[in-house]
Structure 1
Amino acid sequence: MFQIFPLIPFTLLIVCVLAIVTFYLAYRSPDKSAFDRILLWGIFYIFLHSFYVFIIEVFYANEPWRDQLIPFAFGYGPFLYFGMLSLRDNKVQLWKLFVHLIPFVVYLILFGLLVFDVLENTLIMQKRIGKHIFILGPISFVTYAVWSAFEGKRLFKEKFRQKLAMFVFARILLLFISLIFIIVFFSKKVAEDQQAVYLLRMVIYVCMLLAVFMIFSYVVDKLIKPNATLTKKRKIVGPVSSIELAKYERSALSELQLIDFEKRLVYAVKEEQLYLDQELSLSSLAAHLRIPNHHLTQVFSMRVKQTFYQYINGFRIMHACELLQSANKMLNLEELAEKSGFNSKVSFNRQFKQIMGCTPSAYRNHLSI
């Protein structure tokens, strides 16, 4: 069963285990941004890919077409694309998602037709579909990698260095795997050498393992380091302390710059209603305003006199009160929370009571008197 390279199934098994652990940690992480959600599904996609190939290696080793013709390769480029977009706080539009997944869907359907013998599953048909995948796969990898390189230059100024490091690594892997595809496709000598093919496959799976390990490191780092920052923010229930203000008084930002940044903040949050975005975070807000994170933090500390969460939740609760006072009195609390920018009813109830002094239900009952 493992005649040529017994390391392949074991490598895939390690990828599966590490991917599912990373997925669990990322899923349990609080305050997930748009980028974190895409990363979450990206790691699940890698798990599906590695687990599928592991099953093929163990139970269908004599039918390599089951691995070669399934179009997992067409999914990695779109994940890179939408991951980069999420750093600019752009929402995923369904029509864009559909367009980018067209190659994956088309070849997945063709693969299904072969598996269920709707199409005649002959060697000629397998080679024809495999040829398409071996040509279009590298084209997809290179196209998305080149695009992400240009996009990364625009985002580097926004202090996304750790996240961009993952994209640089992913870009290199895509180009490297593209080279392997091209070698196998254009070199008949390599393609006919079973040991060489297995060696190249082993290299690809090691690349997958490295990618999963890098994402795992990011998730663990995010769970450990930001928690201290979030705890400090949430412990502050009143205006920012004088100690924190003193720290920022030594900042290089002038008063005019702070005022300008504050105006941009107020316009974006109030007029553009960014507070209704459930995935809004300090980083994504800073990216939208094109203001460095630490400068925006100073604006909240020195000008707004509130933390980011206090400021945004204040707007959200005011919006909820307006909904309760309007004709939308039939909204249940879960719908009200969602329409006000909260991602959970529990968080909505807690913030409402803290700001308004009563629960949303009590506030609604008072209005009906």
Structure 2
Amino acid sequence: MEGLFVSVTLVYTLLSCGLLLAAFFNFRSQPNRYLIVGFWAVCLHIVYKLIWVGWGNPSQYEIPLPFGLMYPVLLYLFARAYYRPEIAGSYRQLMFLSLPFFLHLVLFVAACLQPTESGWIAGYAKIYYVSCMLSLLTFSTLTAKMYTNSKKPSTPTDILIRQLTMMCFGLVLLGYMVLYQVSVPDDDVGFEVRPMVYLFLALGFGLMIRYIITLGIPIFHGFNEGEAVLSKAGGEPNSTVQPSVVAEWAVVIEQELIRTQLYLNPSVSLDMLAQEAAIPRHQLTQVFNGYYKKSFYQFIAAMRIEYAVRRISELGDKVTLDSLSYECGFNSKTSFNRYFKAYTGMTPSEYRTARQSITNQTLSIPQ
């Protein structure tokens, strides 16, 4: 009976890993894909624990699921996508970071295939807990270094990353206590430590749920461009976001556009801004349409024209209008002239002439 139960847990683990890989590639264009994969990993991990509690033999040692090696890596990748969006992770790098998990998955399978009395499960557990502590300590330190050096304003994403990082440091201590109990079963620390690990897991799960609900992140469907599910009535994303959160996003959007000067990029898109600001693409659309009352490209055009006005004021005749139109990110002078006149009421040449006239009159006034 024990062998049958171990076989069931093995099949469950392999199916879970397959589902997580499918989720990872389904959400490959989502800025929050690492969080989504982590969310589903925690769900599967908690179900695994419930299976052991409900049907496992109390005298049999629980085989630790190797998902513990995924969490610090996913948190690090999620934080890097937020704090260092200019760094694009290659598949080779992702495979390198995932190597400890896959190695322990092989060890997990090997332990499940051995007789329960062989001692393989206990040996695997010791190796697993040591590896988890090293992984948690390494990637939590790297993540903490990123948000310590970050100049970004505090956002829900930033707060979530800090909270989860602190929990990872706490899990390092719990991991040491679990390892001690596994290695020295005769010594009693006063309580069973492993339930505390699952308590931390549940707390982290709760923090992720709150973040996902607040930002309206889609977690049940994969989309080619990270689009949300459209409601049947109006075709808008079917999620409600508090006005205070939308206002906060607006601040982050403006700061990121100014910091990166992304609006000057001729190929700028909502996906690029979503990656920089760590805000879902469909939520960006809600901010522009609901908060600014403009489309994304109208907002970008206004920022480009404001930039052009500053450049004309600074340089005057030293810059040609042709070169300025491309410097601002427009693909043609015609588009530049049309947006400039709509924004200022004058063409670029008329504005420069009027600006120079005002400057000359100011200089000619006797002091």
Matched, 1:100 2:97: yes
CA RMSD, aligned part only? 4.2
Of 174, 177, 181, the match for 1:180: 174
CA pair 286-210 structure 1, distance change in 2 beyond 3 A: closer
Distance in 1 (alpha carbons) for counterparts of 2:69 and 2:242 = 33
Distance in 2 (alpha carbons) for counterparts of 1:73 and 1:286 = 25
TM-score, normalised relative to structure 1: 0.53
Equivalent residues of 2:126, 2:182 under 8 A apart: no
Distance in 2 (alpha carbons) for counterparts of 1:262 and 1:150 = 21
SS across alignment from 2:57: coil
Distance in 1 (alpha carbons) for counterparts of 2:35 and 2:111 = 31
Distance in 2 (alpha carbons) for counterparts of 1:222 and 1:99 = 31
CA pair 286-105 structure 1, distance change in 2 beyond 3 A: closer
Of 26, 33, 39, the match for 2:35: 39
Equivalent residues of 1:80, 1:167 under 8 A apart: yes
The Cα of 1:262 is off from its aligned counterpart by 10
The Cα of 1:227 is off from its aligned counterpart by 7.4
Q: Deviations over 1:171-219 (max 9, x none)?
A: 1211111111212324679743679453x22222221221111112212
Tell me what 1:49 maps to.
Answer: 45
Count of equivalent residues: 237
Tell me what 1:308 maps to.
Answer: 296
Distance in 1 (alpha carbons) for counterparts of 2:43 and 2:50 = 10
Of 191, 215, 221, the match for 1:222: 215
Matches for 1:40-79 after TM superposition, within 5 Å:
40-62=36-58, 64-68=60-64, 70-79=65-74
Matched, 1:165 2:159: yes
Distance in 2 (alpha carbons) for counterparts of 1:71 and 1:141 = 13
CA pair 307-230 structure 1, distance change in 2 beyond 3 A: farther
CA pair 41-47 structure 1, distance change in 2 beyond 3 A: same
CA pair 95-217 structure 1, distance change in 2 beyond 3 A: same
SS across alignment from 1:67: coil
Equivalent residues of 2:214, 2:241 under 8 A apart: yes
Distance in 2 (alpha carbons) for counterparts of 1:124 and 1:263 = 56
The Cα of 1:150 is off from its aligned counterpart by 0.5
Equivalent residues of 2:66, 2:128 under 8 A apart: yes
TM-score, normalised relative to structure 2: 0.53
The Cα of 1:160 is off from its aligned counterpart by 4.4
Tell me what 2:113 maps to.
Answer: 116
Percent identity, please: 17
Letter of the structure 2 residue corresponding to residue 133 of structure 1? Y
Distance in 2 (alpha carbons) for counterparts of 1:262 and 1:178 = 36
What runs of 5+ residues in structure 1 fail to find an aligned partner? 1-26, 234-247, 288-292, 314-369
Distance in 2 (alpha carbons) for counterparts of 1:263 and 1:149 = 23
The Cα of 1:33 is off from its aligned counterpart by 7.8
CA pair 310-227 structure 1, distance change in 2 beyond 3 A: farther
Equivalent residues of 1:138, 1:178 under 8 A apart: yes
Q: Which has the higher helix share?
A: 1
Tell me what 1:139 maps to.
Answer: 134
Distance in 1 (alpha carbons) for counterparts of 2:71 and 2:176 = 17
Q: Deviations over 1:110-134 (max 9, x none)?
A: 21123234xx654432232222112
Equivalent residues of 1:33, 1:281 under 8 A apart: no
The Cα of 1:99 is off from its aligned counterpart by 1.0
The Cα of 1:168 is off from its aligned counterpart by 1.6
What runs of 5+ residues in structure 2 fail to find an aligned partner? 1-22, 217-239, 302-367
Equivalent residues of 1:184, 1:191 under 8 A apart: no
Q: Which has the higher contact order (CA 8 A, sep 6+)?
A: 1
Q: Deviations over 1:312-331 (max 9, x none)?
A: 79xxxxxxxxxxxxxxxxxx
Equivalent residues of 2:129, 2:175 under 8 A apart: yes
CA pair 230-138 structure 1, distance change in 2 beyond 3 A: closer
CA pair 161-58 structure 1, distance change in 2 beyond 3 A: same
Equivalent residues of 2:73, 2:98 under 8 A apart: yes
Matches for 1:71-90 after TM superposition, within 5 Å:
71-87=66-82, 88-89=84-85, 90=87
Q: Deviations over 1:16-53 (max 9, x none)?
A: xxxxxxxxxxx9xxx99844322211110100111111
